[in-house]
Amino acid sequence: MAWISGTAMDWLEITSLVDVESVEAVCEIFRRHVHGGVSIEEDVSTFPDSEGYTVNLDKPVAIRGYIPLDERAHAKAEEIDRALWHLGLLRPVQPLSTRVVADSDWQNAWKDFFHVHRVGKRFVIKPSWRDFEAQADDLVVEIDPGMAFGTGLHPTTQMCLFEIEHHVKPGQRILDLGTGSGILAIAAARMGAQSVLALDIDAVAVDSAKSNVDLNGLQDVVRVAMGSLPLPPAVASSSGADQDAGDGKFDLILANIIAKVIVELSGHLASAARQGGLVIASGIIVEKASPVEESLTAAGFSIVSRAQRGDWIAFVARKL
């Protein structure tokens, strides 16, 4: 919640409808000005009388963010709109739409669109406010994403969850880079990871991930902290799991971020991964896949697999 002079503040909601190939670029524009995370909302059809759903990949994606409604709000919105106009010369991007949202409405409106859903064979993503009766083999990840990205609906998150189910083994030490809501870190813990370090550079995401770790009762397995790679000294030195890991490296690194950041961090990913360890890299639009693959290979990784859902790519790479 935002406050000015002790009074709860309303929000300026900004929205742009874009094609899937523009999602990454528009999110970067939004993140420069909005409070907390950016919402990526695909067109989803739910099945009557069930918790199932399907994502309509041919429909526009709504990119949504919130700006505290203070004296700078409309100037920020105009700056975003100008950037979108320039991007619209190259890609289908609709002009920015805005509306004022009361703080109480902002807190709850988005919850109507978030349902219980299954990913893979065992994962069940459960919003904290919905009821669900788990089956014996279900791995339930309870989430209240708030303003942090990560509900399990987006293809990039779903591909990561599929790979986690396939590659995470009991006793492993895992790094979740750009944890957002903490959904992937919690999923890895549910698969039996010995320890998970969940990092994000966004304070809102760190708070959200900590709350979700507590919600799932995984405080002894998942540690959430502010930071990125290379590990901040305070994070590296204070991690109890580091002492148990010998060389302090990770068996598996999750990087569901964006292509540009994966390319920039590829060397640090190699330094943080144990020999033979894996990196699951997602958040990559198809047209950016080649630079990511090239940077990971140059850093000393071998590509194990490449998955695609719609226009999104996920790599699994092994450190040589």
In a domain, 275, yes or no: yes
187 and 74 within one domain: no
186 plus 270 within the same structural domain: yes
Q: Is the same domain home to 195 and 264? A: yes
Q: What is the 3-state secondary structure (H, E, C) of 231-244?
A: CCHHHHHHCHHHHH
Calculate the CA 127 to chain-centre distance: 16
pLDDT recorded at residue 93: 86
Residues 93/67, Cβ–Cβ less than 8 Å? no
**95 shares its domain with 156:** no
Q: What is the pLDDT of residue 51?
A: 46
Predicted local distance difference test score (pLDDT) of residue 37:
65
Domain count along the chain: 2
How far is residue 25's CA from residue 42's CA, in Å, rounded to a whole number? 16
pLDDT at residue 243, rounded to an integer: 43
Task: Evaluate whether residue 191 is within a structural domain.
Answer: yes
pLDDT at 193: 98
The answer on 210 and 286 residing in a single domain is: yes
Whether 182 is in a domain gets the answer yes
Residues 185 and 39 in one domain: no
Cα–Cα distance for residue pair 79/74, rounded to 1 Å: 9
pLDDT along the chain (320 residues), means of 10: 44 88 82 76 59 64 86 91 88 87 68 79 90 91 73 83 96 96 96 97 88 96 95 73 61 94 96 97 92 98 94 94
Q: Domain check: are 165 and 36 in the same one? A: no
118/48 Cα distance (integer angstroms): 16
Determine contact, residues 183/125, Cβ cutoff 8 Å.
Answer: yes
Q: Residues 196, 84: one domain? A: no
Give yes or no: residues 156 and 13 share one domain: no
Range of the domain at 64: 3-107
pTM: 0.75
* Confidence at residue 11, expressed as pLDDT on a 0 to 100 scale: 85
Backbone angles phi, psi at 315, to 5 degrees: -110, 145
Q: What is residue 89's predicted lDDT score, i.e. its pLDDT?
A: 85
Q: Which CATH number characterizes residue 49's domain?
A: 3.30.70.260
The residue with tokens 């790979």 is: 163
Q: Is residue 53 part of a domain?
A: yes
Helix or strand or coil: residue 109? helix
User: Does residue 87 sit in the same domain as residue 166?
Assistant: no
Residue 53: predicted pLDDT: 52
Residue 176 falls inside a structural domain: yes
Question: Looking at the structure, do residues 308 and 204 belong to the same domain, yes or no?
Answer: yes
Q: Are 181 and 143 in contact (CB under 8 A)?
A: yes
List, as one string, the DSSP characters of 131-177.
Answer: -----TT-EEEEE--TTSS--S-SHHHHHHHHHHHHH--TT-EEEEE
**Which residues are CB-contacts of 32 (< 8 A; sequence separation ≥ 6)?**
80
Q: What is the CATH number of the domain that holds 180?
A: 3.40.50.150
Length of the chain: 320
